């Protein structure tokens, strides 16, 4: 026992020494002042700021020092809360990021800054807490209280993340004057201009004392299981939600000041356990120390990169660079090929009704015609809705948008069907796996750093981005035979990394950031006739390939061993179908930007209608996806007329609400 205590103490001292070294490196990197001059500046400022007679000393005291203190405070709190959440749920992959609570807090703050700016100073942290709490409640409602220790809670958190991101994008697009500041905030920025934010934050972080007082005993009892803890006098549910609320308050307060910084709350507790933290108290203290160390280190990395690249790189982006590979490593360490994805969905009809496909085709034609002939007349106030045959000029504007909507909806729906059947996961989609995000990154990165016009970029650029992510998924997943848990969590890490880079690209941009933001929302507004034709041609060919290879999909969906026993080359078929997915995502994203939830929603609606076979599901999902996108594009053009809401944003919000409701209903049906 004494040797274990010595080992833990040695690790504590080692991490503390690393932290001290990082602090010293932060002070001395590209420093104008020596250590003695810095200490002299601190001594003078502690007496009276007016004693600072040197501009360099003022910068050190008013900018560098508070930035370091902020990194220590926020990093420590994120590490502490991450440990608390993981111990409460007994889930090593839970954190404010993976639960979606950080996104909920950020969305609440966006709403406050846009519509209730006068209350931000007094109620920002409370709004962030409400946003984080509501998000956590929604995620628990989706996954179920019994699945807190499994993968479903993480996957539900990512689904909610996509939905909240779509809502935030819609708000920012309608209030463009806030866009740049909000994206800098979303990227996680520790830069300080004085001590005001630290003075504001410190009293709110004092709630962490409650965790150290009450949590160790509660967490120790919870390790015995809920029944064992209750038998020893613990009121499990109030204790669980009480501590969780304190943790959410600490996260919400931190996000209010510095924005979203991912991965720290996920990595610190896992590293603490890896270094030997065994008791709940040890893990909490060790995670706090490690969180501070990690954020100071990533902030130093951001400062170094900013110095050599001449671009101000937010600390949240640097944290994502370190955290994404680390999440992949912990995924490979903590999950195995037998891990089950137990999220349930409504079963739907047992067979496909006769004439359903014909009805969907007729319905799609009717919807397309109505979208062309029904419009709003800005000159009419009492009866603005009119039905008219479009003029030649109007038709030239409308048909590329219509063809693009049809093609994008069908293409992403088929991509969703392929992914869900290939990796046996009802929540798989191009959004969750990061395949669409790969296409987004290649186009945004090329636009911001290389200067090409994103609206004229060839689909090949987006395909290369999608394919790069796909290859990485295949390489990392091969060791575990592409187990669902491994593939999904790797995709989550990649998506988080790519999102951070996109936030950075937008935050550093100039006036072009607004056009990039419109493209990110998934708009058909700027699609040219040539681009619409290219997309239509690509989608038709790729959907035809999926239909011709439906037997492969059927056999793989029944199980890899079953497919191999029937003579199918599983590996080659698997890779060919995934390349088809990458091509579909690349073509759609290059033409109109990233679209969320179509790849999730359309396949499930097809199943609800009774399309159980692979061929049937592909056809029905493609028709439903096209129908949804046409409706979303038409609504987006008229719902806030004469302003427009991008079709991708609207379909993400509507589809997200429907899909989350579908998940909740499916979860309840299993109990």
Burial class (CB in 10 A: 0-12, 13-18, 19+), 586: buried
pLDDT at residue 347 in the model: 66
Range(s) of the chain covered by CATH 1.10.3470.10: 1-332, 363-668
pLDDT at residue 480 in the model: 62
CA distance readout (Å), 653 to 137, 314, 364, 528, 601: 19, 28, 21, 26, 12
- Whole-number CA gyration radius for the chain: 26
Q: What is the pLDDT of residues 1-14, one digit of tens each?
A: 455 555 567 777 88
Q: At the topology level of CATH, where does 363-668 sit?
A: ABC transporter involved in vitamin B12 uptake, BtuC (1.10.3470)
Q: What is the pLDDT of residues 437-476, one digit of tens each?
A: 787 778 777 776 676 666 665 667 777 888 888 777 777 7
**Domain 1-332 CATH class label:** mainly alpha
More confident residue, 132 or 461: 132
- What is the mean predicted confidence (pLDDT) over 403-431? 85
Q: What is the pLDDT of residues 269-309, one digit of tens each?
A: 988 888 888 889 999 999 999 999 999 998 888 888 877 77
Q: What is the pLDDT of residues 308-346, one digit of tens each?
A: 776 677 777 788 778 777 777 766 665 544 444 444 555
Q: What is the pLDDT of residues 510-565, one digit of tens each?
A: 555 566 666 777 778 778 888 889 899 999 999 999 999 989 888 888 877 888 88
Integer distance in angstroms from the first to the last C-alpha of the chain?
Answer: 45
- Coil vs helix vs strand at 385: strand
- CB distance 610 to 348 below 8 Å: yes
- What is the mean predicted confidence (pLDDT) over 56-70? 84
657 C-beta neighbours (distance < 10 Å), count: 13
Length of the chain as a residue count: 671
Is omega for the bond preceding 347 within 30 degrees of 0, making it cis? no
**Residue 53 is encoded by which pair of tokens?**
């007679």
- CB distance 515 to 453 below 8 Å: no
Residue 137 has pLDDT above 90, yes or no: no
High-pLDDT (> 70) share of the chain, %: 81
Residue 415 has pLDDT above 70, yes or no: yes
Average pLDDT, the chain: 79
Q: Which helix (H) or strand (E) holds 243?
A: helix 236-258
- CB distance 154 to 489 below 8 Å: yes
Residues in CB range of 149: below 8 A, 6 or more apart: 89, 90, 91
Residues in CB range of 36: below 8 A, 6 or more apart: none
Rounded to an integer, what distance in angstroms lies between the CA atom of residue 455 and that of residue 516?
Answer: 9
Q: State the residue for tokens 């981005």.
A: 465
- Coil vs helix vs strand at 525: coil
Rounded to an integer, what distance in angstroms lies between the CA atom of residue 593 and that of residue 444?
Answer: 10
Task: Using alpha carbons, select from 276, 326, 321 the residue that is nearest to residue 93.
Answer: 326
**Residue 481 is encoded by which pair of tokens?**
């035979």
pLDDT at residue 514 in the model: 60
Residues in CB range of 156: below 8 A, 6 or more apart: 100, 139, 142, 143, 343, 427, 663
Q: Name the β-bridge partners of 387.
A: 374
Measure the CA dihedral 408/411/417/420, to 10°.
-70
Residues in CB range of 179: below 8 A, 6 or more apart: 172, 506, 513, 514, 517
pLDDT at residue 349 in the model: 73
Burial class (CB in 10 A: 0-12, 13-18, 19+), 14: exposed
Is omega for the bond preceding 467 within 30 degrees of 0, making it cis? no
């Amino acid at each position: 026992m004494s040797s274990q205590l010595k080992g833990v103490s040695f690790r504590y001292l080692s991490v503390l020494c690393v932290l001290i070294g990082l602090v010293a490196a932060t002070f001395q990197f590209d420093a104008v002042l020596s250590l003695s001059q810095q200490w002299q500046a601190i001594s003078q400022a502690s007496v009276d700021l007016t004693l600072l007679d040197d501009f360099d000393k003022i910068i050190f005291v008013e900018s560098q020092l508070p930035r370091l203190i902020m990194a220590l405070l926020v990093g420590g709190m994120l590490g502490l809360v991450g440990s608390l959440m993981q111990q409460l749920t007994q889930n090593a992959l839970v954190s404010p990021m993976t639960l979606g609570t950080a996104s909920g807090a950020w969305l609440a703050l966006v709403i406050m800054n846009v519509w209730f700016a006068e209350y931000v100073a007094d109620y920002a942290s409370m709004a962030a807490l409400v946003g984080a709490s509501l998000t956590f409640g929604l995620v628990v409602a989706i996954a179920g209280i019994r699945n807190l220790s499994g993968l479903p809670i993480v996957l539900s958190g990512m689904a909610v993340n996509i939905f909240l991101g779509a809502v935030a994008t819609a708000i920012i697009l309608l209030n463009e004057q806030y866009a740049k500041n909000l994206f800098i905030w979303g990227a996680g920025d520790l830069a300080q201009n004085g001590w005001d934010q630290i003075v504001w934050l410190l009293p709110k972080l004092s709630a962490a004392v409650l965790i150290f007082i009450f949590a160790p005993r509660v967490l120790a009892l919870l390790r015995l299981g809920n029944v064992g803890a209750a038998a020893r006098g613990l009121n499990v549910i109030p204790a669980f939600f009480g501590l969780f609320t304190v943790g959410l308050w600490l996260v919400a307060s931190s996000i209010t000041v510095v924005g979203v910084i991912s991965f720290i709350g996920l990595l610190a507790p896992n590293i603490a356990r890896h270094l030997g933290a065994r008791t709940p108290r040890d893990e909490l203290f060790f995670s706090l120390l490690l969180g501070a160390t990690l954020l100071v280190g990533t902030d130093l990395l951001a400062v170094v990169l900013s110095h050599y690249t001449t671009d101000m790189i937010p600390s949240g982006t640097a944290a994502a660079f370190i955290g994404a590979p680390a999440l992949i490593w912990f995924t490979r360490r903590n999950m195995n090929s037998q891990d089950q994805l137990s999220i349930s969905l409504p079963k739907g009809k047992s067979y496909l009704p006769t004439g359903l496909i014909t009805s969907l085709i007729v319905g799609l034609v009717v919807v397309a015609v109505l979208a062309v002939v029904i419009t709003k007349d800005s000159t009419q106030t009492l009866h603005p809705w009119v039905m008219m045959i479009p003029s030649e000029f109007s038709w030239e504007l409308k048909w590329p948008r219509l063809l693009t909507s049809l093609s994008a909806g069908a293409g992403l729906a088929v991509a969703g069907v392929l992914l869900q059947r290939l990796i046996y996961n009802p929540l798989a989609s191009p959004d969750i796996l990061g395949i669409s995000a790969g296409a987004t990154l290649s186009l945004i990165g090329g636009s911001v750093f290389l200067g090409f016009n994103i609206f004229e970029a060839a689909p090949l650029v987006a395909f290369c981005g999608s394919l790069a992510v796909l290859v990485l998924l295949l390489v990392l997943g091969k060791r575990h035979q592409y187990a669902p848990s491994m593939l999904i969590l790797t995709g989550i890490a990649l998506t988080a990394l790519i999102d951070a880079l996109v936030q950075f690209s937008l935050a550093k941009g100039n006036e072009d950031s607004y056009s990039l933001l419109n493209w990110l929302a998934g708009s058909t507004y700027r699609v040219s006739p040539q681009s619409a034709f290219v997309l239509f041609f690509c989608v038709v060919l790729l959907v035809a390939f999926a239909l011709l290879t439906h037997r492969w999909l059927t056999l793989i969906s029944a199980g890899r061993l079953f497919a191999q026993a029937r003579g199918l080359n599983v590996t080659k078929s698997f890779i060919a179908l995934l390349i088809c997915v990458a091509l579909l995502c690349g073509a759609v994203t290059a033409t109109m930007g990233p679209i969320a939830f179509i790849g999730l929603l359309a396949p499930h609606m097809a199943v609800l209608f009774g399309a159980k076979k692979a061929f049937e599901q592909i056809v029905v999902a493609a028709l439903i996806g096209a129908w949804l996108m046409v409706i979303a594009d038409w609504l987006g053009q008229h719902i806030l007329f004469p302003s427009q809401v991008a079709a991708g944003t609207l379909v993400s919000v509507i589809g997200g609400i429907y899909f989350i409701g579908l998940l909740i209903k499916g979860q309840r049906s299993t109990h």
